[in-house]
Amino acid sequence: MYKILKKEKLNPTITLLEIDAPYVASKGLPGQFIILRVDTEGERIPFTIEKCNKEKGSVSIIFQIVGSSTLKLDALNEGDYIEDFVGPLGKPSKLDHIKKGCVIGGGAGCAIALPIVEALHNKGCDVTSICGFRNKDLVILEDEFEKNSSKFIKMSDDGTWGNQGLVTKALEEEILKGEKYDDVIAIGPLIMMKFVCEVTKKYGIKTTVSMNPIMIDGTGMCGCCRIVVGGKIKFACVDGPDFDGHEVDFDNAMLRNAMYRDWEKHKYEETCNLLNKKEG
């Protein structure tokens, strides 16, 4: 079992957990992920590694409460234990070719984008970060992005944080100003990544996206995480999670991700009622 060393609420729906997991901490690299189970009856759920502290032997993850499993995970506190914590899984992000890059995060995807920004910053790259949220109350990791970005552009749907508009608006404005990027890395909702890729394709800019489809075993055997890339089936857990954004079939990915939405809503409500009864 794996002990929770730290719990921090970043906003009403997003939580950071630091987990005692020395082996994973010693091997984890930016872009990789772990799979955990909250308890013996829990489902296997993947989370991108936010940070590895090799000296402390801990791994930090950031997650959004969207279903029953993340609701149960959020109910745990410092000192509690998680049943399983497996990793690192997936291929690390390829960053060696980047001297000037743009990293785009949307909502909870900013938690996945941050380690990429930090890695680029630490190797001396010129890195522009563009982060988008619905409003200022949902903002996470602002100080960390400020610290590690050569340029940090803030966008919000309602204009309460930074500039009003979508991340694609900010990206295209930077391109039209003459900024030339070796790679644009986009991490967030599928619809956001799709439109980022449409912008960069117009200008012939290499674009990498991080895919997080439905996943179970994390070894490529179950096939649940299959996506279509360049007309071929790929498995996000072993072939990714990073892919050439211009080759990803986003419409297919969005259709697959929506398959269990009603079931997830039902399980969330069921778990919420159960936890409320326990607290009562």
Residues 6+ apart with CB under 8 A from 178: none
**Mean pLDDT value of segment 175-202:** 95
- 85 and 104 both lie in a single domain: no
Same domain flag for 145 and 54: no
Instruction: Report pLDDT digits (tens) over 200-226.
Output: 999 999 999 999 877 777 777 788 888
Domain check: are 235 and 172 in the same one?
yes
| Domain span including residue 17 | 2-89
Whether 267 maps to a domain, the answer reads no
Same domain, 73 and 183: no
- Note whether 80 and 136 are same-domain residues: no
Length of the chain: 280
Q: Is residue 269 part of a domain?
A: no
What's the structural domain count of the chain? 2
Same domain flag for 68 and 137 = no
Residue 235 sits in a domain whose CATH number is 3.40.50.80
8-state DSSP, 93: P
**Whether the Cβ atoms of residue 15 and residue 63 lie closer than 8 Å to each other:** yes
- Let me know whether 105 and 241 are in one domain: yes
Q: What CATH number is given to the structural domain containing 56? A: 2.40.30.10
Last residue of a domain, one of 44, 69, 89: 89
Q: Examine the fold and report which residue of 34, 56, 89 is the final residue of a domain before the chain moves on.
A: 89
**pTM of the predicted protein model:** 0.86
pLDDT, tens only, 110-150 = 998 999 999 999 999 999 999 999 999 999 999 999 999 99
Q: Is a pLDDT exceeding 80 seen at residue 186?
A: yes
pLDDT above 90: residue 174: yes
Residue 132 lies in a domain: yes
Side chain identity at residue 2, one-letter code = Y
Percent of the chain with pLDDT over 70: 92
Q: Would residue 138 count as lying in a domain?
A: yes
Residue 16: name the closest of 190, 129, 140 by CA.
Answer: 140
Q: Are residues 105 and 207 in the same domain?
A: yes
- As to burial, measured by CB atoms within 10 angstroms (0-12 exposed, 13-18 middle, 19+ buried), residue 76 is middle
Q: Decide which of 223 and 164 is more confident.
A: 164
The whole-angstrom separation of Cα 58 and Cα 85 is: 11
Element spanning 61, H or E: strand 58-64
Q: Are residues 70 and 145 in the same domain?
A: no
For residue 60, tell me if it sits in a domain. yes
The per-residue pLDDT for range 233-270, each reduced to its tens digit, is 999 888 989 999 999 999 998 887 776 666 566 554 55
Residue 138: what pLDDT?
93
266 lies in some domain: no
Both 119 and 226 in a single domain?
yes
Question: Last residue of some domain: 31, 65, 89?
Answer: 89
Backbone angles phi, psi at 71, to 5 degrees: -65, -40
Which has the closest alpha carbon to 130: 108, 149, 158, 111?
149
DSSP letter (8 states) at residue 260:
T
Is residue 202 domain-resident? yes
CA 18, 221, 264: angle at the middle one, nearest 5?
60
pLDDT of residue 215: 76
Question: Is the same domain home to 251 and 152?
Answer: yes
Same domain, yes or no: 127 and 179: yes
pLDDT, residue 261, reads 66
